Chain A
Amino acid sequence: MEKTLNNKAWFMVLPVLFIVALNAIVPLMTVVNYSVQDTFGNNVFFFEGTRWFTEVLHSGRFHASLQRQFLFTFTILVIEIPLGVAIALTMPRRGFWASVCLVLMALPLLIPWNVVGAMWNIYALPDIGLLGYGLNWLGFNYDYTQQPTAAWFTVILMDVWHWTSLVVLLAYAGLRSIDDNYYRAAQIDGASRWAVFRHIQLPKMKHVLTIAILLRFMDSFMIYTEPFVLTGGGPGNATTVLSIDLVKAALGEFNLGVAAAMSIIYFLMTLLVCWLFYTIIMQGEKE
């Protein structure tokens, strides 16, 4: 089939290209610039090639924070996705209580991230915080400012509290899109509760759940504010995830080359995961 080509259409793309160049490509190129050079101040730069990349990739510190990052992301996904689906399943399908539940569910999502961090910081303090004091009163030896496990527990609990709602809302939207007649048909068939979940609800939620996993992965992989406010990466380096480590390197130690190389590796990893998800979703669409 013969197509009419009009190259003038490219001009329409120019404004977008311009804006994207200014707010994404130029800053990114600056980072690329730093990642291959070294400086001792006064805006004098020396070309270093791949030195920073090699250094970062071989550094035990980077490996450790990357491991912590994956452990964190994996843990919260394993908790938040099933928990979110479970909560969505128990929510009423319609009526007054459905609206009440939705508003309650949305509340944590409306709180600014640093406020969440600050809230939990105080809430979990063993001497004055309700959670911290309560746990100690119950006989647990809990102090997240001193014990790595306690710190991890608190960071994960905080993230679950803050973000499970997002999974709930997405799963709930997926559930709501199921025609009532599916349930009636299953009821007439005499299908069990599990069969209804396995063969009707889960397949119908597949798309929103993929998106929920993608969103939660991206967000948790780049998490900074909440753990920074809550633990500052401590005690020691126990909760120093990638982004916290990155900021330490860039602004704390002013190690611009190393930080820039880390940023780019970090960016490529995120991009890779995004691409993986995109492929999976597109594959699903085709079916």
Chain B
Amino acid sequence: MTLELRNVSKRVGAELHISEVNLTLEKGSQNVLLGPTLAGKTSLMRLMAGLDRPTDGDILVDGKSVVGVPVQKRKVAMVYQQFINYPTLSVYENIASPLRVAGADGATVDRKVRGAAELLKLTPFLERLPLHLSGGQQQRTAIARALVKDAGLVLLDEPLANLDYKLREELRVELPRLFAESGAIFVYATTEPHEALLLGGATATLSEGRVTQVGTTIDVYSRPCDLVTAQTFSDPPLNVVPMQKSGGRLSYDGKSIATPTGTETLADGLYKVAIRPHHLLLHRPPGESIEVQATVSATEITGSESFVHVEHGGSRWVALTHGVYRLEIGDRVAVFLDPTGFLVFDAEDRLVAAPAAAVRQTAGRA
């Protein structure tokens, strides 16, 4: 099936939860809804599922409007951040529940339940109650329930957010594969940019109820159409530096460099340059760069990487570098703004230049 949202808005009281969303999701596609908390991911999913009715606009399945069709009559499965299972039913009966409602015969139920349990490594726990399982197994049960339903639309609303790191890594790899075979439209909501990149497929970024950009995940990441999208798709937060372009030079804080590729043709004026943390360098890059003396305000060391938070002229930046940096709060460090990572936005926050290098780099990584 194909799901199409046309100018969909959802108003609750005076609040606009979803604002004029246009989206087309093809059969068998993998889609990520990326946005911070309260951006409207859940609201949008509920509209897609048919749990809520849009205030305006139309929702079409295979070209036919489904607005007003109750959710039970649509082929939808949904998995939530919380582990939602029937507390008094065994894992087996939990997985079987959508089949039982649909009136499947005993043999079919048994075959499907055991198949799904096998895929999700739940076979040893089929007779247990969900509450006696670990968080990961509870969520696997909920996912198995969504899987047996053979739904055309599978909605996963931050399904891994409440799991610990290891389980999250494990399930994230399995999830798209599990649903890929069924040919369902797979929609995955998350707040984490790296989760979107790992899942791949297409990404729609959300901000304050609006879809700010839709495209293949890598494209949206490397060429965010506006500053809000770039910020949504950056964790740790984006460093935004105001720069002046005049003549052939781009300058900040009295220092200037030759305009990087892609920005030569821009009109002179003030621009916002966004630099992802891994493009804010603590060592001099090979090419030309803007060097700034900044004060260290915090360092977070993960082992393989260090996040160095610095302050310069009233703004806070964060640099992500390899290895362990031993820096004390208050230390003075030289920070290099590397033009190969500049995302340049105009006064209206629209992207006017993204270096080709950034695209190559991300494409190479994925």
Residues of A at the B interface (CB closer than 8 Å) are 179, 181-182, 184-185, 187-191, 198-200, 202-204, 287
- Cβ of B102 within 8 Å of any chain A Cβ, yes or no, is yes
Is B356 in contact with chain A by the CB < 8 A criterion?
no
Among A181, A203, A204, chain B packs the most CB atoms within 10 A around the CB of A181
**Which listed segment binds A: B58-66, B71-79, B174-182, B285-293?**
B71-79
Chain A residues with Cβ under 8 A from B261's Cβ?
A: none
B-side residues, CB < 8 A to A, are 46, 49, 51, 71-72, 76-78, 80, 82, 84, 86-89, 97-98, 101-102, 131, 142, 145, 149
Beta-carbon contact of B101 and A187 below 8 Å: no
CA A27 to CA B101, docked complex, whole Å: 61
Q: What's the minimum C-beta distance from A208 to chain B, rounded to whole angstroms?
A: 14
Contact A189 B87 (CB under 8 A): no
| Interface contact B80-A188, CB-CB below 8 Å | no
Residue pair A185, B101 in contact (C-beta under 8 Å): no
Choice from B76, B86, B89, B131 contacting A188 with Cβ under 8 Å: B76
The one of A182, A184, A191, A203 that contacts B88, using a Cβ cutoff of 8 Å: A203
Please state if B97 and A189 are interface contacts (CB–CB under 8 Å): yes
B51, A184: Cβ atoms closer than 8 Å: yes
Of chain A, the residue at the smallest CB distance from B101 is A190
Q: Which residues of chain B are near A181, meaning CB under 8 Å?
A: 80, 82, 84
Please determine whether A199 and B49 come into contact, CB atoms closer than 8 angstroms. no
If the complex has contacts A190-B102, A200-B87, A203-B87, are A185 and B80 also in contact, measured as CB distance less than 8 A?
A: yes
Instruction: Among B72, B76, B84, point to the contact of A179 (Cβ < 8 A).
Output: B84
Q: Which residues of A contact B71 (CB under 8 A)?
A: 187-188
Residues in A neighbouring B82, C-beta threshold 8 A: 179, 181
B226 to chain A, nearest CB (A): 32
Chain A residues, Cβ within 8 Å of B49: 184, 188
Q: Is the interface of A mostly helix, strand, loop or mixed?
A: helix
Neighbouring B residues of A179 by C-beta, 8 Å? 82, 84
| Chain A, residue nearest B42 (CB) | A181
Q: How far is the CB of A234 from the nearest CB of chain B, in Å?
A: 47
What would 11 more interface pairs be, CB under 8 Å, given A179-B82, A182-B84, A189-B101?
Answer: A181-B82, A184-B80, A185-B80, A187-B51, A188-B72, A189-B145, A190-B98, A198-B88, A199-B87, A200-B86, A203-B87
Contact between B51 and A185 (Cβ–Cβ < 8 Å)? no
- List, in ascending order, chain A residues with CB within 8 A of B102's CB: 190
- The CA-CA distance from A191 to B102 in the complex, in Å, is 10
Cα A29 to Cα B98 in complex, Å, equals 62
Check B72 against A187 for contact (C-beta < 8 Å).
yes
The chain A residue with its CB closest to the CB of B85 is: A185
Please state if B89 and A189 are interface contacts (CB–CB under 8 Å): no
For residue B152, give the distance in angstroms from its CB to the closest CB of chain A: 13
Q: Can you report 22 residue pairs joining A to B where beta carbons are below 8 Å apart? A: A179-B82, A179-B84, A181-B80, A181-B82, A182-B84, A184-B51, A187-B51, A187-B71, A188-B72, A188-B76, A188-B78, A189-B98, A190-B72, A190-B102, A191-B97, A198-B88, A200-B87, A202-B88, A203-B86, A203-B87, A204-B87, A287-B131
